[in-house]
């Protein structure tokens, strides 16, 4: 979780750095609880629950899947 515990300004810088890596064609496995950051940066997303992958798809697929969002991502 690269943004855990960081000030918002630093979180923005980390996001820009990850975008730069993406633009260079470098893949990164990102584990992140801040969903907005993960959805902005990612081409593919995976949601894990109880040690299993419960969702796999694009950020757009996840945004459209109300059941997964409600069951696994809402606090």
**pLDDT for residue 64:** 96
Angle at 64 between CA 69 and CA 17, to 5 degrees: 80
Angle at 30 between CA 24 and CA 35, to 5 degrees: 115
| Contact present, 37 and 3 (Cβ < 8 Å) | yes
* Separation CA 5–CA 68 (nearest Å): 26
What digits encode the pLDDT tens for the residues 18-59? 999 999 999 989 888 888 888 888 999 999 999 999 999 999
What digits encode the pLDDT tens for the residues 14-27? 889 999 999 999 99
Phi (first) and psi of residue 18, to 5 degrees: -65, -40
Report pTM. Answer: 0.76
Q: Mean pLDDT in the chain?
A: 90
């Amino acid at each position: 979780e690269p943004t855990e515990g960081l000030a918002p300004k630093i979180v923005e810088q980390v996001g820009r750095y990850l975008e730069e890596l993406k633009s260079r064609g470098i893949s990164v496995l990102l584990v992140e609880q801040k969903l907005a950051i993960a959805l902005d940066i990612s081409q593919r997303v995976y949601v894990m629950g109880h040690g299993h992958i419960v969702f796999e798809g694009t950020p757009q697929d996840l945004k459209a899947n109300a059941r997964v969002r409600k069951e696994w991502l809402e606090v």
